[in-house]
């Protein structure tokens, strides 16, 4: 017998690292409205490649506003991880059912995950017991609105399934979408593992005492079957489960053979002659 109680509306926090008014987050937030009550909580300015930075014991300014088609938003003067931490600590009413991060301008594949503020925001959510999915659009241009719209269409059923089936503890889904302007141009979805890329960074000397980190786009082995790089290069959506346990389990047995021990005695007279 039905209790007569109304089912609560699904609460979704949408974040990113490109900024609260970036085209990717606007497309994603609009798509999430079909699944529940979507609210944006994202950096006030671009925080790309900020990693999992958090701001401790310092003032963090924020403002309430609306973005897109009157979507409630918080623009936070902090990192993506700050945004999620503040939202869960009370800046957003209630506890969300899921955090959705993106759609990032540019792919987050291979080692990109260690740099990505988009992925870090999702990881911050699962640290706090909230399931999360991160979305990125590969090789995105600033004005590729149609591409973001396609990526948002892809995001909708993935997030819906994550809500229905749940995710393991401390696990996010990292989703990369190829840059296409029509949904039918995608070849499908592939479950993948992280690939590897070769980062070609270099030092740029701007002036005396002033430098920049420059570089060329990273190179990757796009022929390694089953990786995120392989899939996106072939116009497949890549879905990679990512876990917070960074232990190199395959190396544990070899490391035991090192027979590491504490030194029997310490030389406290460092630098003594």
Residue 37 pLDDT > 90? yes
- Does residue 31 fall inside a structural domain? yes
Residue 257 pLDDT > 70? yes
- Peptide bond between residue 103 and the one before it cis (omega within 30 degrees of 0): yes
Q: Burial letters for 74-105: b for 16+ Cβ neighbours within 10 Å, e otherwise? A: bbbbbbbbbbbbbbbeebbeeebbbbbbbbbb
Alpha helix locations (H) across 197-242?
A: 228-233
- Does residue 101 fall inside a structural domain? yes
Cβ proximity of 234 and 226 under 8 Å: no
| Residue at token pair 């080692």 | 111
If you average pLDDT over residues 182-198, what whole number do you get?
A: 96
Cβ proximity of 11 and 97 under 8 Å: yes
- Does residue 222 fall inside a structural domain? yes
- Does residue 259 fall inside a structural domain? no
Structure-token pair, residue 3: 């209790």
If you average pLDDT over residues 135-158, what whole number do you get?
A: 89
If you average pLDDT over residues 102-129, what whole number do you get?
A: 96
- Does residue 239 fall inside a structural domain? yes
| Residue at token pair 């460092």 | 270
Domain that holds residue 228: 11-247
Residue 143 pLDDT > 90? no
**DSSP secondary-structure letter at 163?**
H
If you average pLDDT over residues 75-100, what whole number do you get?
A: 97
| Bridge partner list, 220 | 197
Could you tell me the CATH number of the domain that includes residue 191? 3.40.1210.10
pLDDT tens-place string over residues 228-241: 999 999 999 999 99
- Does residue 59 fall inside a structural domain? yes
pLDDT at 5: 43
Q: Burial letters for 108-132: b for 16+ Cβ neighbours within 10 Å, e otherwise? A: bbbbbbebbbbbbbbbbbbbbebbb
pLDDT at 268: 54
Answering whether pTM is above 0.85, one says yes
**DSSP secondary-structure letter at 53?**
-
- Does residue 263 fall inside a structural domain? no
**At 139, is the pLDDT very low, low, confident or very high (cuts 50, 70, 90)?**
confident
Give how many domains the chain has, as a whole number: 1
Summary mean pLDDT of the chain: 92
Q: Where are the beta strands (DSSP E) in the chain?
A: 11-15, 37-43, 62-67, 71-76, 98-105, 132-137, 171-177, 188-191, 197-207, 210-220, 236-243
- Does residue 3 fall inside a structural domain? no
Question: 12-16, 106-110, 214-218, 261-265: which range is least confident on average?
Answer: 261-265
Alpha helix locations (H) across the chain?
A: 23-32, 80-86, 117-127, 145-165, 228-233, 252-256
Question: 8-12, 21-25, 88-92: which range is least confident on average?
Answer: 8-12
**DSSP secondary-structure letter at 89?**
I
| Residue at token pair 């479950």 | 191
- Compute the CA torsion angle 156, 162, 165, 167 (nearest 10 deg): 170
Question: 93-97, 141-145, 212-216: which range is least confident on average?
Answer: 141-145
**At 218, is the pLDDT very low, low, confident or very high (cuts 50, 70, 90)?**
confident
């Amino acid at each position: 017998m039905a209790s007569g109680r109304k089912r609560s509306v699904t609460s979704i926090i949408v974040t990113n690292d490109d900024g609260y008014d970036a085209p990717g987050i606007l497309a994603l937030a609009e798509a999430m409205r079909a699944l529940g009550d979507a609210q944006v909580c994202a950096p006030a300015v671009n925080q790309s490649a900020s990693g999992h930075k958090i701001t401790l014991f310092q003032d963090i300014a924020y403002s309430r506003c609306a973005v897109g088609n009157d979507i409630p938003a918080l623009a936070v003067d902090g990192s993506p991880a700050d945004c999620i931490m503040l939202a869960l600590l009370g800046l957003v009413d209630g506890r969300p059912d899921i955090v959705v991060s993106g759609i990032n301008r540019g792919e987050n594949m291979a080692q990109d995950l260690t740099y990505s503020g988009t992925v870090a925001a999702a990881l911050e959510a699962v640290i706090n017991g909230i399931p999360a999915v991160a979305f990125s659009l590969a090789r995105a241009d600033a004005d590729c609105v149609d591409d973001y719209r396609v990526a948002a269409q892809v995001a909708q059923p993935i997030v819906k399934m994550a809500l229905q089936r749940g995710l393991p503890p401390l696990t996010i889904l990292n989703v990369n979408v190829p840059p296409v302007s029509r949904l039918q141009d995608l070849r499908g979805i592939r479950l993948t593992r992280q690939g590897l890329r070769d980062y070609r960074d270099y030092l740029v000397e701007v002036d005396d005492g002033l430098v920049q980190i420059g570089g060329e786009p990273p190179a990757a082995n796009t022929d390694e079957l089953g990786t995120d790089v392989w899939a996106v290069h072939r116009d497949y959506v890549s879905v990679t489960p990512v876990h917070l346990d960074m232990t190199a389990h395959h190396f544990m047995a070899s490391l035991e053979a090192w027979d590491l021990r504490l030194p029997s005695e310490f030389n406290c007279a460092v630098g003594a002659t």
